[in-house]
């Protein structure tokens, strides 16, 4: 069986490819900015107040679902379902705005 360890030339090649990919990649700054803007709009317009609150605690503040459940006095499964439904609404909204 042949030895497949990386030698210095193969790692040089990988480095060269990485640099080439970085230099030739398209600039997607405008697309990302539009996505962020639409996501902010969707959070305000499409979600219920409870969904906005739960998403803010989960994604913006980084709380775990069990912590959110304790804080809001609801079951962890309710938090999970609320996040899932909110994500579905956001995906559906963003699908038509992109």
Residue 82: CATH number of its domain: 1.10.10
In a domain, 79, yes or no: yes
Q: In this structure, is residue 77 part of a structural domain?
A: yes
30 belongs to a structural domain: no
Residue 88 lies in a domain: yes
HSE value, Cβ hemisphere, 13 Å, CA-based, for 52: 11
For 54-63, write each residue's pLDDT tens digit. 999 999 999 9
Angle at 54 (CA atoms; ends 53, 56), nearest 5 degrees: 65
Of the candidates 50, 94, 45, the residue with the CA atom closest to the CA atom of residue 72: 50
- The verdict on residue 52 lying in a domain is yes
Q: Which residues of the chain have pLDDT under 70?
A: 1-11, 98
Q: Is 79 buried (19+), middle (13-18) or exposed (0-12) by CB count in 10 A?
A: buried
* pTM: predicted TM-score of the whole model, two decimal places: 0.68
**Residue 14 within any structural domain of the chain:** no
Domain limits at 52? 48-98
State the pLDDT at residue 7: 52
d(CA 7, CA 16): 14
Would you say residue 96 lies in a domain?
yes
Say how many domains are in the chain.
1
Spatial contact of 50 and 85, defined as CB atoms under 8 Å apart: no
Residue 9 lies in a domain: no
């Amino acid at each position: 069986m042949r030895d497949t360890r990386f030698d210095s030339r193969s790692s040089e090649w990988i480095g060269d490819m990485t640099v080439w990919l970085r230099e030739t990649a398209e600039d997607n700054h405008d697309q990302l900015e539009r996505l962020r803007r639409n996501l902010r709009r969707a959070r305000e317009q499409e979600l219920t107040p409870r969904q906005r609150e739960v998403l803010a605690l989960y994604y913006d503040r980084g709380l775990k679902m069990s912590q959110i459940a304790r804080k809001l006095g609801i079951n962890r499964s309710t938090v999970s379902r609320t996040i899932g439904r909110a994500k579905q609404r956001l995906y559906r909204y963003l699908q038509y705005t992109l």
